[in-house]
Amino acid sequence: LRRNAGEPEFHQAAREVFESLGRVIERHPHYAEGSVLERICEPERQIIFRVPWTDDSGRVHINRGFRVEFNSALGPYKGGLRFHPTVTLGTVKFLGFEQIFKNALTGMPIGGGKGGSDFDPKGRSDAEIMRFCQSFMTELYRHIGEYTDVPAGDIGVGGREIGYLFGQYKRITNRYESGVLTGKGIGWGGSLVRTEATGYGTVFFAEQMLATRGKNFDGARVLVSGSGNVALYAIEKVHQLGGVVVACSDSAGVVYDRDGLDLELLREVKEVKRGRLSDYAELRGSASEYRPQGNIWSIASEVSIDVALPCATQNELDDASAAMLVAGGVSAVAEGANMPCTPAAVRVFSEAGVLFAPGKAANAGGVATSALEMQQNASRDSWSFEHTEQRLAVIMKGIHERCARTAEEYGEPGNYVLGANISGFTRVADAMLALGVV
Ligand code: NDP
């Protein structure tokens, strides 16, 4: 704690994993050897750098850039970049730590890392975003590479930003190294389904959990928080499977559409116009109710809810909200975002017997499809949408099976938190032990 002072989210993420590991060490004491537990908490490398850039009026701004290269026992560091004013080293470390186990759970050859900046893209022009991305990459390029560290998007970093980052990398290095970043555009090395992958994957995972209780999405009423990349495609897949998403949110408010969200309009507002949910509500008219600063989970105290998919940000769903969801009849919760439920909320779900999927399992479809993008880049190939979605569905099924089997092996069937932590940890720890003290 002293070494990582002022990093509460990192402590939270580490504590959550370590709470599951006592049983592994009891059964397999060799995992406590070679200081694996201490080593896994210490990033292999942390880079902090200055990002100077000029706005449209000529004013110079300074932001801070981060890249935490956490663990490369299984492959090159892999994890997204987040641009949001709340980003600190602690945020990036918690995300990087989670990423190690998530990436291990996919069964693919990728290590864990994460990065970002406290830059706020909201309200910035295209030209400002481009200048910021170019400046960010002017430092980052020396630390990354197809075999070293492969960043991707996260909050505030989508296809546009990856384009500017890739353009600057190519320019500085004079190399068309497609595998250095994932989340690229389809016309220049990107993979079909990458945009949809995290949201779709979360719903695939929830579908597998529901099936263990003989349930499915058909006719289910669903709440999805957020309205960014993960949320939009979670909503799309729920609708494709016959469910009805009645509400979503952004940091300013909640829209509640009793009969289901109009996904086409939502995508138009968020993806094309880069607008706010208040714009959606205005265009949707009387079918929609907009609640400024509302709590999306409280809708469960007005109508019954079957499934909740928190897809916005960390610690957005606390124990009071969890209690409302339980009282509203929720039977499954799958984290599309990273650590959106507080530890107290997870306890409420567990005590109520609600199926609960932690982000490191439920949202692993995004990074898994990034690994598929790397495969396509390496073989100079591009796969069809159907083939790639099929691969994603199989990967999510595999992650679900791995978590469920491990939870059962350790005497807690249905405990996906335990299953995900143990199964991710043992894969990484086995590789770390095999590679020696490095
Ligand atoms: P986006 O930037 O596309 O969307 C984020 C959404 O969350 C927006 O609706 C945003 O609202 C809302 N949000 C952000 N911060 C806050 C906050 N402090 N309070 C309330 N709402 C907030 O990001 P993504 O959809 O890509 O990411 C969402 C989550 O999913 C993150 O936790 C991310 O780490 C995780 N994730 C993403 C993956 C991906 O492939 N994109 C992969 C795995 C995990 P507003 O517009 O008002 O800011």
Q: Is the CB of 288 under 6 A from ligand 1?
A: no
pLDDT at 217: 98
Mutate to test the pocket of ligand 1, among 233, 250, 276 (most ligand atoms within 8 A of CB): 250
Q: Give the model confidence (pLDDT) of 355-394 as tens digits.
A: 999 999 999 999 999 999 999 999 999 999 999 999 999 9
* Closest C-alpha residue for ligand 1 atom 20: 251
Q: Is the CB of 252 under 6 A from ligand 1?
A: yes
* Closest C-alpha residue for ligand 1 atom 10: 250
In angstroms, rounded to a whole number, what is the distance separating the alpha carbons of residues 208 and 351? 21
> Which atom of ligand 1 approaches the CA of 194 most closely?
40
Calculate the CA 251 to chain-centre distance: 17
- Using pLDDT thresholds of 50, 70 and 90, give the confidence band for residue 297: very high
Query: What is the whole-number distance in angstroms between the Cα of residue 231 and the centre of ligand 1?
Result: 8
> Which atom of ligand 1 approaches the CA of 313 most closely?
32
Query: What is the whole-number distance in angstroms between the Cα of residue 30 and the centre of ligand 1?
Result: 38
- Using pLDDT thresholds of 50, 70 and 90, give the confidence band for residue 399: very high
Judged against a pLDDT cut of 80, whether residue 56 lies above it is answered with yes
pLDDT at 34: 78
Read off the pLDDT of each residue in 328-351 and give the average, rounded to a whole number: 98
- List binding-site positions for substrate: 78, 99, 102, 153, 370
pLDDT at 94: 97
Q: Is the CB of 91 under 6 A from ligand 1?
A: no
> Which atom of ligand 1 approaches the CA of 232 most closely?
25
Q: Is the CB of 195 under 6 A from ligand 1?
A: no
pTM of the model: 0.96
Query: What is the whole-number distance in angstroms between the Cα of residue 411 and the centre of ligand 1?
Result: 34
- Using pLDDT thresholds of 50, 70 and 90, give the confidence band for residue 240: very high
pLDDT at 417: 98
Judged against a pLDDT cut of 80, whether residue 127 lies above it is answered with yes
In angstroms, rounded to a whole number, what is the distance separating the alpha carbons of residues 118 and 134? 15
**Mean of all residue pLDDT scores within the chain:** 97
Query: What is the whole-number distance in angstroms between the Cα of residue 234 and the centre of ligand 1?
Result: 12
pLDDT at 379: 96
Q: Give the model confidence (pLDDT) of 65-84 as tens digits.
A: 999 999 999 999 999 999 99
CB atoms within 10 A of CB 235: 26
Q: Give the model confidence (pLDDT) of 258-292 as tens digits.
A: 999 999 999 999 999 999 999 999 999 999 999 99
Query: What is the whole-number distance in angstroms between the Cα of residue 314 and the centre of ligand 1?
Result: 9
Judged against a pLDDT cut of 80, whether residue 1 lies above it is answered with no
* Closest C-alpha residue for ligand 1 atom 46: 250
pLDDT at 121: 97
Q: Give the model confidence (pLDDT) of 5-32 as tens digits.
A: 999 999 999 999 999 999 999 999 999 8
User: Residue 388 phi/psi, 5° resolution?
Assistant: -70, -40
Strand locations in 77-234, DSSP E? 77-83, 112-117, 149-152, 221-225
Q: Give the model confidence (pLDDT) of 134-184 as tens digits.
A: 999 999 999 999 999 999 999 999 999 999 999 999 999 999 999 999 999
Using a 10 angstrom Cβ sphere, with 0-12 exposed, 13-18 middle and 19 or more buried, the burial of residue 124 is: middle
* Closest C-alpha residue for ligand 1 atom 30: 337
pLDDT at 3: 86
pLDDT at 195: 96
Q: Which domains, from first to last, does the chain contain? A: 42-179 (3.40.50.10860), 195-362 (3.40.50.720)
pLDDT at 33: 83
pLDDT at 2: 79
pLDDT at 35: 87
* Closest C-alpha residue for ligand 1 atom 40: 366
Question: What are the distances in angstroms from CA 93 to CA 108, 113, 154, 156, 210?
Answer: 22, 8, 14, 18, 32
Active site residues: 114
pLDDT at 398: 98
Query: What is the whole-number distance in angstroms between the Cα of residue 336 and the centre of ligand 1?
Result: 9
- Using pLDDT thresholds of 50, 70 and 90, give the confidence band for residue 216: very high
* Closest C-alpha residue for ligand 1 atom 32: 337
Length of the chain counted residue by residue: 438
